[in-house]
């Protein structure tokens, strides 16, 4: 058991994780690919190739560790900052970044094929999608769970509380995965909520767990346990992964206007990738050759992403009117006619 009194064990024993050495290395690989892709996407926005982009640097362990802990049949419902979870799910990042290139609504990837919902910007909205999908799966008798990613700020939304209560009452197999990255744009978590986030689970009657969100193995373990509880017993879990957003809220934000530089320095010293690299070396699971290979792979990964994004054309305009309504309402029919002349 990796949990005691709502706190996940940090630096869990490697034996207890049930991961082979290859799995341990894979976690590093995906964190490194994520960091590189995140930097590339930020650069692409600065160069005018993306309209906006919300960097996740600092949160790689929280995202990769949790997404990796799920089974392929489990569903993920992301917010707008989960590029790292998309990497784990094998989502094509060019298709993912269509959202940020403003050429399509949630990304053009196939959500069903990857069991990875579309980018969702209304804060907390994806929590309801995750609970609804879990409820549907339960009614179908399917053995799967869903995981909703959201931030510290989202815990102030009604959607969060409604989702938690509904899931508890109806035993929906959900994991509420909060990345407490200390900020909701310029609002610090101290001004967001008084009670520790993980303890809010008490109010709904299911387990809450706080985990060091910069410890990929601790996140992995806490999420695996929560997933098993959800699938096997219909018990939801609220996981608070304590982490840090090292970049701005988005490329449209200047974090230096509200955030002390010393805070960033403190968290840079806790960089989840550096920390995991040391752990792997200590355990004798990875060597310089492996890290060099990953570096090379990350370079190629970012280059493909860059070329793909730059080559992406806007989607055909008629798609704006497709798929939501079987029969277009009058006002949309008029708009379609105006744009397309048919
Ligand atoms: C319903 C809603 N209200 C306000 C916004 C504007 N907004 C976008 S992100 C954000 C902060 C969210 O903070 P948090 O939940 O901590 O997630 P983070 O951005 O830190 O990942 C706000 C207020 C929004 N997108 N949706
Ligand atoms: Mg936040």
**Residue 150 confidence (pLDDT):** 98
334 and 197 housed in the same domain = no
339 and 254 housed in the same domain = no
Is the pLDDT at 38 greater than 80, yes or no?
Answer: yes
Quote the ligand 2 centre to 293 CA distance (angstroms): 33
Quote the ligand 2 centre to 306 CA distance (angstroms): 27
Quote the ligand 2 centre to 137 CA distance (angstroms): 29
327 and 297 housed in the same domain = no
Quote the ligand 2 centre to 139 CA distance (angstroms): 33
Domain containing 231 — which CATH number?
Answer: 3.40.50.970
Q: Angle between the 21-46 and 288-311 helix axes, to the nearest 10 degrees?
A: 40
**Residue 104 confidence (pLDDT):** 84
Residues with CB under 6 A from ligand 1: 81, 121-123, 150-154, 181, 183-185, 245, 249
The C-alpha atoms of residue 44 and residue 94 are separated, in whole angstroms, by 12
Nearest CA to ligand 1 atom 20: 184
194 and 327 housed in the same domain = no
Nearest CA to ligand 1 atom 25: 122
200 and 255 housed in the same domain = yes
- Summarize the confidence of residues 176-199 as an average pLDDT: 97
300 and 323 housed in the same domain = no
Pocket test for ligand 1, best of 84, 153, 251 (most atoms within 8 A of CB): 153
Contact between 9 and 2 under an 8 Å Cβ cutoff? The reply is yes
Is the pLDDT at 122 greater than 80, yes or no?
Answer: yes
75 and 190 housed in the same domain = yes
**Residue 3 confidence (pLDDT):** 63
Range of the domain at 191: 3-311
102 and 208 housed in the same domain = yes
Is the pLDDT at 212 greater than 70, yes or no?
Answer: yes
291 and 185 housed in the same domain = yes
6: which residues sit within 8 A by CB, 6+ positions away? 198, 199, 207, 208, 209, 210
Is the pLDDT at 259 greater than 60, yes or no?
Answer: yes
Pocket test for ligand 1, best of 55, 149, 184, 200 (most atoms within 8 A of CB): 184
Quote the ligand 2 centre to 255 CA distance (angstroms): 13
97 and 194 housed in the same domain = yes
**Residue 132 confidence (pLDDT):** 98
Q: Where are the alpha helices (DSSP H) in the chain?
A: 21-46, 60-68, 83-88, 93-97, 111-114, 125-140, 158-170, 189-192, 201-204, 216-233, 261-268, 272-282, 288-311, 330-340
46-55, 85-94, 110-119, 321-330: least confident range: 321-330
Nearest CA to ligand 1 atom 19: 184
Active site residues: 245, 249, 258
Contact between 66 and 219 under an 8 Å Cβ cutoff? The reply is yes
Atom of ligand 1 nearest to the CA of 184: 13
Is the pLDDT at 124 greater than 70, yes or no?
Answer: yes
Query: pLDDT (tens digit, 9 = 90+) per residue, 97-117?
Result: 999 999 887 788 999 999 999
Mean pLDDT, the chain, rounded, equals 96
146 and 37 housed in the same domain = yes
- Summarize the confidence of residues 127-143 as an average pLDDT: 97
**Residue 1 confidence (pLDDT):** 45
- Summarize the confidence of residues 7-11 as an average pLDDT: 80
Pocket test for ligand 1, best of 185, 246, 248 (most atoms within 8 A of CB): 185
Atom of ligand 1 nearest to the CA of 59: 21
First to last CA, the chain: 63
- The number of folded domains in the chain is 2
**Residue 7 confidence (pLDDT):** 78
Report percent pLDDT > 70 for the chain.
99
Closest ligand, as measured to the CA of 80: 1
Contact between 58 and 246 under an 8 Å Cβ cutoff? The reply is yes
Quote the ligand 1 centre to 122 CA distance (angstroms): 7
Is the pLDDT at 342 greater than 80, yes or no?
Answer: no
The C-alpha atoms of residue 105 and residue 155 are separated, in whole angstroms, by 25
Nearest CA to ligand 1 atom 3: 123
Is the pLDDT at 205 greater than 80, yes or no?
Answer: yes
Is the pLDDT at 322 greater than 80, yes or no?
Answer: yes
9 and 101 housed in the same domain = yes
Query: pLDDT (tens digit, 9 = 90+) per residue, 271-305?
Result: 999 999 999 999 999 999 999 999 999 999 999 99
């Amino acid at each position: 058991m990796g949990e005691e009194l709502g706190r996940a064990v940090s630096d869990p024993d490697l034996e207890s994780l049930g991961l082979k050495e290859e799995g341990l290395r894979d976690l590093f690989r995906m964190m490194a690919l994520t960091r590189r892709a995140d930097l590339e996407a930020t650069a692409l926005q600065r160069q005018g190739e993306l309209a906006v982009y919300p960097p996740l640097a600092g949160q790689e362990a929280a995202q990769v560790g949790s997404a990796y802990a799920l089974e392929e049949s489990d569903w993920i419902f992301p917010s707008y900052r989960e590029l790292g979870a998309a990497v784990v799910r094998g989502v094509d990042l060019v298709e993912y970044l269509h959202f940020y290139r403003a050429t399509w609504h949630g990304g053009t990837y196939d959500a069903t094929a990857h069991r990875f919902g579309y980018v969702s910007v209304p804060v907390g909205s994806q929590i309801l999608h995750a609970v609804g999908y879990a409820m549907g799966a339960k009614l179908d008798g399917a053995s799967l769970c869903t995981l909703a990613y959201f931030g510290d700020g989202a815990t102030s939304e009604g959607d969060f509380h409604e989702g938690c209560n509904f899931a508890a009452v109806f035993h929906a197999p959900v994991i509420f995965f909060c990345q407490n990255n200390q900020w909701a744009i310029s609002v610090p978590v101290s001004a967001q909520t008084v009670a520790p986030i993980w303890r809010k689970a008490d109010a709904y009657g299911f387990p809450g767990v706080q985990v060091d969100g910069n410890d990929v193995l601790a996140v992995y373990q806490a999420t695996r346990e929560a997933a098993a509880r959800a699938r096997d017993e219909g018990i939801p879990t609220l996981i608070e992964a304590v982490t840090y957003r090292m970049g701005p809220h988005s490329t449209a934000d200047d974090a230096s206007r509200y955030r002390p530089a010393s805070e960033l320095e403190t968290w840079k010293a806790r960089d989840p990738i550096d920390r995991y690299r040391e752990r792997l070396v200590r355990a004798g699971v990875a060597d310089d050759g492996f890290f060099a290979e990953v570096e090379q792979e990350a370079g190629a990964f970012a280059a493909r992403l860059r070329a793909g994004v730059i080559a992406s054309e806007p989607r055909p305009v008629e798609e704006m009117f497709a798929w939501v309504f079987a029969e277009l309402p009058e006002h949309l029919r008029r708009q379609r006619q105006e744009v397309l002349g048919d």
